[in-house]
Amino acid sequence: MLKVQMRSMLVTSLRDKITLFYSLLLPIVLMFGLAIFFDNPEQQLHIICGVTAISTVFWGMQGIAFQVHWQRSRGVYKLLMLTPMPLMQFIAVMIVARTVIGVAMNWSIWLIGMLSFGMKLTAWSIGLTQLIIMIGTICFTSIGFVIANAARNEAQINMLSNLLQMPMIFMSSAFYSLDGAPAWVAFIGKLLPFEHYTNLISTMQSAGSSISILSLIVLVLYIMIAILIASITFRWDTNQLMLKSSTA
Amino acid sequence: MYIEAKGLVKQYGKRMILNNIDVSIQAHEIIAIIGPNGAGKSTMLEMLIGLQKPSSGTIWHWDTAYKGKIGVQLQAVPFFPGLSAMENLLLFASFYKKSISKEEAMKCLRICGIHDAAHTEAAKLSGGQQKRLAIAVAIIHEPTLLFLDEPTAALDPRNRQDIHNLMLELQQQGKTIVFTSHDMDEVHQLATRVLVIDQGKIIAAGEPAELCNKYDAASLTQLYMKLTREDECYA
């Protein structure tokens, strides 16, 4: 049974062409565009890691938010409530499937970038990058679930995603140094998960570097908080919180 | 008896959606729930299947594990994007913890008259085909009780007739069916019992012919006009 569900979730995610465009094609184009423009190897490495991180955010946050909203509005969760299968099991299968694809996709983006621009690859960086991408995907997917619960429609998903993504990306050192930025910008950036995620991907590219435990803790904390909020605010019906004003 | 509800009340704030509803569902019936938009039909249906809790009143089900034994077709079509009709059916079967082969799934699609489109993406099926697939999803786990929420809404006469035939065939196979509809001809053709609901109350219940006699109506449409209000309810 789980095999059928996992396969179906993988297929439905892989056939979502729009999300694949934003999470795979666009980051690759962006990466090549930027990396060709900045021909400094150090800067190129920065760009590869930054683009990989952005792809994770798009796939994790917006991808899951739209998927959950769609399923909820079409009555999938209503039907699931009438089956012996626990709803949370279905959601767990969905997250695992999306994480598997997310890791494969983002790791491919990173690998394409590293190989194309002649970056040094080590077994350490190849393996650890996969692990960090997995943690990042789970983190942003969990936040995407919170967005899906808070939003009432597709427009609100876009709005809320942008509200979170834009400050996360612009207040991070993914593409440029924040050394010259006001202190409060760097401070807020460090409170957000994206900065720590890009930090983890970037630092592990240097030989002999150790993982930033603080960044890892921040991501895990975000995962725990987001899952907690998502489970508290989860709605299986679009009108669940609006029942007081709904029609019969 | 499959379900017995007594004194069902559903209230949102001061707004009364259902007001003291008593209803029972017996085996092998085809029950039609009719009434104006917003009268409380879908709310009642969702309460009977356990999707909504009543503000007061009791609902008795014949089996404590009844949820896996009922089939439901909702108004919205809950198919997964990117998956074919067959893939959707296999996925929904897995939700009922039922492992079925592709041949069994195809048999179910054939019963519902949609086997030709088995490998077409569900989202690309026509309205009639999607309704049939929704019914296939509702019967894939061989339920004893079926709830169909406006199964023929927005369908052309041929598709409508096909679904009528399917419903009658399912009844002959021993299934009990509860459906909502705005089509009085359909109700007359299919229902063994009709519940007329308006402003959250059951205002009439019985066999179609019996109701027409009782209220001196030439048809169910005339009966509907006589019993229900002119304005729609936005309860």
Report the domain count for chain B. Answer: 1
Least confident of B97-101, B191-195, B228-232: B228-232
Contact, A103 vs A130, CB < 8 A?
Answer: yes
Residue-wise pLDDT for A129-153, tens only, equals: 899 999 999 999 999 999 999 998 8
Mean pLDDT of A170-181: 86
In this model, does residue B70 exceed pLDDT 90?
Answer: yes
- Asked if A16 has any chain B CB less than 8 Å from its own CB, the reply is yes
Gyration radius of chain A's alpha carbons: 19
Is B233 domain-assigned?
no
Least confident of A105-109, B1-5, B65-69: B65-69
Q: Do B96 and A245 touch (CB under 8 A)?
A: no
Residue A247, pLDDT score:
35
Domain that holds residue B131: 3-227
Q: What is the spatial distance between Cα A54 and Cα A32, in angstroms, rounded to a whole number?
A: 14
Residue A82, pLDDT score:
86
Q: What is the spatial distance between Cα B225 and Cα B205, in angstroms, rounded to a whole number?
A: 15
Is B157 domain-assigned?
yes
Residue-wise pLDDT for A33-86, tens only, equals: 887 888 788 888 888 999 999 999 989 998 899 988 888 888 888 888 888 888
ipTM: 0.78
Helical H segments across chain A, by residue range:
2-14, 17-20, 26-37, 41-57, 64-73, 76-81, 87-116, 123-150, 154-170, 183-191, 193-203, 213-233
Q: What is the DSSP letter of B31?
A: E
SS3 content of chain B, % helix, strand, coil (to 5): 40, 25, 35
Q: Do A15 and B81 touch (CB under 8 A)?
A: yes
Q: Which residues from chain B sit within 8 angstroms of residue A1, using beta carbons?
A: 94, 97, 99
- Asked if B199 has any chain A CB less than 8 Å from its own CB, the reply is no
> What one-letter code names the amino acid at B169?
E
Task: Compute the C-alpha angle A194/A196/A199, nearest 5°.
Answer: 110
Q: What is the spatial distance between Cα A109 and Cα A100, in angstroms, rounded to a whole number?
A: 14
Is B181 domain-assigned?
yes
Q: Which residues from chain B sit within 8 angstroms of residue A90, using beta carbons?
A: 95
Q: Which residues from chain B sit within 8 angstroms of residue A71, using beta carbons?
A: 78, 80
More confident residue, A181 or A211: A181
Is B29 domain-assigned?
yes
Is B235 domain-assigned?
no
DSSP B128-180: HHHHHHHHHHHHTT--SEEEEESTTTT--HHHHHHHHHHHHHHHHTT-EEEEE
Question: Are β-strands B70-73 and B56-61 bridged in parallel, bridged antiparallel, or unpaired?
Answer: unpaired
Q: Do B76 and A74 touch (CB under 8 A)?
A: yes
Instruction: Please give the distance of CA A6 from its chain centroid, rounded to a whole number.
Output: 19
- Asked if B38 has any chain A CB less than 8 Å from its own CB, the reply is yes
Residue A248, pLDDT score:
35
Residue A42, pLDDT score:
83
Closest Cα in chain B to A72: B78
Among candidate residues B160, B148, B216, the one with its CA nearest the CA of residue B185: B160
| CB proximity list for A192: less than 8 A, separation 6 or greater | A167, A168, A171, A172
- Asked if B42 has any chain A CB less than 8 Å from its own CB, the reply is yes
- CATH code for the domain of B103: 3.40.50.300
In this model, does residue A194 exceed pLDDT 60?
Answer: yes
Least confident of A112-126, A157-171, B176-190: A112-126
Cβ atoms within 10 Å, residue B215: 14
Residue-wise pLDDT for B115-124, tens only, equals: 999 999 998 9
Instruction: Please give the distance of CA A96 from its chain centroid, rounded to a whole number.
Output: 13
Is B208 domain-assigned?
yes
Characterize A194-221 residue by residue with b for buried, 16 or more Cβ atoms within 10 angstroms of its Cβ, and e for exposed: bbbbbbbbbbbbeeeeeeeeebbebbee
Q: Do B51 and A245 touch (CB under 8 A)?
A: no
In this model, does residue A169 exceed pLDDT 70?
Answer: yes
| CB proximity list for B211: less than 8 A, separation 6 or greater | B194, B196, B204, B205, B217, B220, B223
Phi, psi (rounded to 5 degrees) for B207: -70, 150
Q: What is the spatial distance between Cα A125 and Cα A202, in angstroms, rounded to a whole number?
A: 10
Is B234 domain-assigned?
no
- Asked if B174 has any chain A CB less than 8 Å from its own CB, the reply is no
Is B93 domain-assigned?
yes
Among candidate residues B79, B76, B147, the one with its CA nearest the CA of residue B114: B79
Q: How far apart are the first and last CA of chain B?
A: 30
